[in-house]
Amino acid sequence: MNRRVRRKVAKKSKEKVGVPGNPEIGDADLCPDSNEDVDWTSLPDDTVIQLFSCLNYRDRASLSSTCKIWRVLGLSSCLWTSLDLRAHKCDPGMAVSLASRCVNLQKLRFRGAECADAIIHLQARNLREISGDYCRKITDATLSMIVARHEALETLQLGPDFCERISSDAIKATAFCCPKLKKLRLSGLRDVSAEVINALAKHCPNLIDIGLLDCLKVDEVALGNVVSVLFLSVAGTSNMKWGVVSHLWHKLPKLIGLDVSRTDIGPSAVSRLLSLSPSLKVLCAMNCPVLEEDNSFSVNKYKGKLLLALFTDIFKGLASLFADTTKTGKNVLLDWRNLKTKDKNLDEIMTWLEWILSHTLLRTAESNPQGLDAFWLKQGATILLSLMQSSQEEVQERAATGLATFVVIDDENASIDCGRAEAVMRDGGIRLLLNLAKSWREGLQSEAAKAIANLSVNANVAKAVAEEGGIQILAGLASSMNRLVAEEAAGGLWNLSVGEEHKGAIAEAGGVKALVDLIFKWFSGGDGVLERAAGALANLAADDKCSMEVALAGGVHALVMLARNCKFEGVQEQAARALANLAAHGDSNTNNAAVGQEAGALEALVQLTRSLHEGVRQEAAGALWNLSFDDRNREAIAAAGGVEALVALAQSCGNASPGLQERAAGALWGLSVSEANSIAIGREGGVVPLIALARSETEDVHETAAGALWNLAFNPGNALRIVEEGGVPALVDLCSLSASKMARFMAALALAYMFDRRMDEVAPIGTLTESTSKSANLDGARRMALKHIEAFVLTFSDPQAFATAAASSAPAALAQVTERARIQEAGHLRCSGAEIGRFVAMLRNPSSILKACAAFALLQFTIPGGRHALHHASLMQSAGAARVLRPAAAAATAPLEAKIFARIVLRNLEYHHIESSI
């Protein structure tokens, strides 16, 4: 994102709307006694329980604590049949405190090894279903303990991340301890041996759904012995012997659905399974390269069998499972869910298909293989949107995560595929995602917010999100007590805030305060949420009005706190960028001064210029550059070691990005406005790296390097250093060759400073021979400089316009010359009284070239409409410039350019004098 980057808002109605029964409306008929208290404890018990069931656990606990009656109702067993601990830190102590409520717990979702270790302390003997993710650190001992304490277990799911530390021993324990097991889905096992599978076949007679996903090795022969299995998935599993599979698995008597997606299965094995298995109805082989490369393979000859692959019409295939042949098109999954007459067998198949499709599409999106653009645009996006409407919460989450993932083509640079993003938008995906984000289920909130965030990188999608009310939803989620939800919501606001049209809407929705509060709330607990919050604030701070909102909300303190104390480079970079943007509005608000006055701010930014991470150095230098426009900040930066740090940065960034080079030189430019700092920069060795940066191929770097050298050259000692270090040829090249008018202008001014004879006073005097040699070198450099200064000034002259102006001096003629000579960006320069005085004195210089250059410079600084034109005019009037300008404008021997430019400056002074007196 750029340094200062990345709504249709409904008007608030002023009409009064009556709401029956609301005492705040003030309707006497509807609420006869507006002071009457409402006794919420008088609500029927079943109403309160229904209310509790719509809340997350944290809110449910808070509401239960309000009174004794609700505390008792909050313990109702019907509220504790299902528990999702993924968003909470669950240790044994917390589990023990929940144990009294979990007597009838049947379904549990958890995250991570610490929570897995605590599960046994819930004492939920009737637990039927356990589902866990982030399982890489879960050990055999933990899993064995869990299954030993939950003999009634029917479903065990661990994934989709790899269970690297779980071996066959723990699975064997599961087989022995859980005879009622019906569904077993495990991901990333290293080895599933024949002994384990045979134990499952022997001790779990009801096992109908097996998923061994992304495993390194699975015994194919033993799987052929699990005669109870209806649904089998080995998606992503490697080292499968497909010849063995095709000769054995078709004998499984009850096998209905088989998933071999993301494997190297070939057409012969697929053909044999489809043709020989009497019970098999669905074979899913999504993203199987060997199968897809065989153009001769036909799916039409297997009547009554469904093959789902990237090259098939998946919606048409799903519709073929229905007896009602009218169920076709992209709404087939929705039609199935809305069937009035339920078919148990069909429901089992469709429920399984939703699960395996959501898993496979997510895994495919994560690996981002080449050549799937057509599939994603024609089918993939629509399938994910259909799965988002599933009744299975896990399927909904994975579908939302799939949408968040498949649009990203370069995670490092936050690049997305615009075609895929807009395909989601066209199919109504934005509204679906926002509806999920409004769910009370925090897992759905976080995944939906993540998808919205990624899709909103596309400007058209961001507009649609705003129009659908997404900004208000994300601002609300950013205040969530769930860190994952808040993090993804902050990411959404970060991407939306790139658009200038959305910044105001984010502020109106309370997004600024929510983002600042996030920093204080999660300062010690989440680098991801801090980076996103700081990034969003950085984008918002680029807007003048929003920058004031950030400051009012405590944003300066929050961001400085991050810059000072956070060690994560992403957070440091965004915090520094935010402070840079806050400080960029010095002419319109006081944030620049406020940042500088915040304790430790300048010291922290100076320290960040020494970071090993280029992005951090770049943003810190940019912040110091902007802050240096304030006089007090400028001196405080120097006192904090800023001169030494920035010179060191400039010395080290020769091979760095143009952005870092520009900001390093820019920060030195800002500091060098002070003559004391300018001298210090020269003394610390700042001249050499600035000369090197002046030779950059990037015009933005040209401007900042030339500006810094211009300020340094004001001091005669620095001017001599520039000459001695070979700076004259570099400035001459800038003056004549840079594509930036501004860089050429400042290079010409630097050369003019250097050779207006003041440098001669500090030139060292040695032996006669040395003195003669140095004098000759200075004379040669002076002639070269003056030649190119003259050529530069002449590029802004029009002989015909000059002749007309010389003959009549009419306002129209002078205006024509001014328009030709104007350098737009020069109007942003702010000169000191000493600098203006030096240009005025230069009008008396014997060199006609320097006279013309001085008049040209004063013209730029006083053009009406320039940001600091009135300030410069005031300085010139105080310096008595008019007394010097009049003879310069009338001098018979002066060059025409100098005379005409002097006349224009006199006219500008008269204009500003009239303006200031009004």
pLDDT of residue 15: 36
pLDDT of residue 326: 61
pLDDT of residue 65: 77
C-alpha of 678 from chain center: 37
pLDDT of residue 768: 41
Q: What does the pLDDT average to over 877-881?
A: 89
Instruction: Name residue 901's amino acid.
Output: F
pLDDT at 258 exceeding the cut of 90: yes
pLDDT at 33 exceeding the cut of 90: no
Tell me how crowded residue 334 is: count the other CB atoms within 10 A of its CB. 13
Min mean pLDDT across 41-55, 479-493, 542-556, 759-773 is at 759-773
Min mean pLDDT across 62-76, 227-241, 581-595, 626-640 is at 62-76
Min mean pLDDT across 89-103, 739-753, 848-862 is at 89-103
User: In terms of Cα–Cα distance, which of 790, 727, 734 is closest to 759?
Assistant: 727
d(CA 104, CA 150) in angstroms, rounded, equals 12
pLDDT of residue 812: 80
SS3 753: helix
pLDDT of residue 770: 52
CA angle 115, 118, 120 (to 5 degrees): 130
DSSP, residue by residue, 860-888:
HHH-TT-TTHHHHHHHHHHTTHHHHHHHH
Distances (CA, A) of 411 to 460, 484, 498, 718: 20, 19, 17, 46
pLDDT class of 764 with cuts at 50, 70, 90: low
Residues 6+ apart with CB under 8 A from 425: 455, 460, 461, 464
pLDDT at 357 exceeding the cut of 90: yes
Q: Give long-range contacts, CB 8 A cutoff, 24+ apart: 331-338.
A: 331/386, 332/386, 333/386, 333/387, 333/389, 333/390, 334/386, 334/389, 337/389, 337/390, 337/391
Q: What mean pLDDT, rounded, does the chain reach?
A: 89
Residue carrying the six token digits 């300062």:
523
pLDDT of residue 772: 53
Min mean pLDDT across 117-131, 322-336, 719-733 is at 322-336
d(CA 53, CA 69) in angstroms, rounded, equals 16
d(CA 476, CA 533) in angstroms, rounded, equals 14
User: In terms of Cα–Cα distance, which of 702, 701, 725, 715 is closest to 672?
Assistant: 715
pLDDT class of 895 with cuts at 50, 70, 90: confident
Per cent of the chain over pLDDT 90 is 70
Is residue 727 within 8 A of residue 747, CB to CB? The reply is no
Name all domains of the chain by residue range, CATH numbers in brackets: 641-761+775-794 (1.25.10.10), 796-916 (no CATH)
pLDDT at 805 exceeding the cut of 80: no
- SS3 of 649-671: the string is HHHHCCCCCHHHHHHHHHHHHHH
Is residue 327 within 8 A of residue 315, CB to CB? The reply is no
Is residue 118 within 8 A of residue 92, CB to CB? The reply is yes
Distances (CA, A) of 839 to 140, 817, 858, 861, 885: 81, 20, 7, 11, 11
pLDDT of residue 1: 34
Residue carrying the six token digits 């300066």:
556
Q: Are strands 415-416 and 408-410 parallel, antiparallel or unpaired?
A: antiparallel
pLDDT of residue 757: 85
In degrees and rounded to multiples of 5, residue 410 shows phi and psi of: -150, 95
Q: Are strands 155-158 and 129-133 parallel, antiparallel or unpaired?
A: parallel
DSSP, residue by residue, 491-538:
HHHHHHTTSHHHHHHHHHTTHHHHHHHHHHHTTTT-HHHHHHHHHHHH
pLDDT of residue 325: 62
SS3 134: coil
The dihedral sign for the CA sequence 224, 226, 231, 233: negative
Min mean pLDDT across 288-297, 437-446, 766-775 is at 766-775
Min mean pLDDT across 757-761, 783-787, 861-865, 901-905 is at 757-761
Over the stretch 575-590, which tens digit does the pLDDT of each residue have? 999 999 999 987 788 8
Over the stretch 378-434, which tens digit does the pLDDT of each residue have? 999 999 999 999 999 999 999 999 999 999 987 777 789 999 999 999 999 999 999
pLDDT of residue 31: 40
Q: What does the pLDDT average to over 763-781?
A: 61
pLDDT of residue 570: 95
Rg (CA), the chain: 37
Min mean pLDDT across 179-188, 571-580, 844-853 is at 844-853
pLDDT of residue 771: 53
Over the stretch 453-509, which tens digit does the pLDDT of each residue have? 999 999 999 999 999 999 999 999 999 989 999 999 999 999 999 999 999 999 999
Q: What does the pLDDT average to over 678-692?
A: 97
pTM above 0.75, yes or no: yes
pLDDT higher at 328 or 187: 187
Q: What does the pLDDT average to over 823-844?
A: 91
Min mean pLDDT across 16-30, 173-187, 861-875 is at 16-30
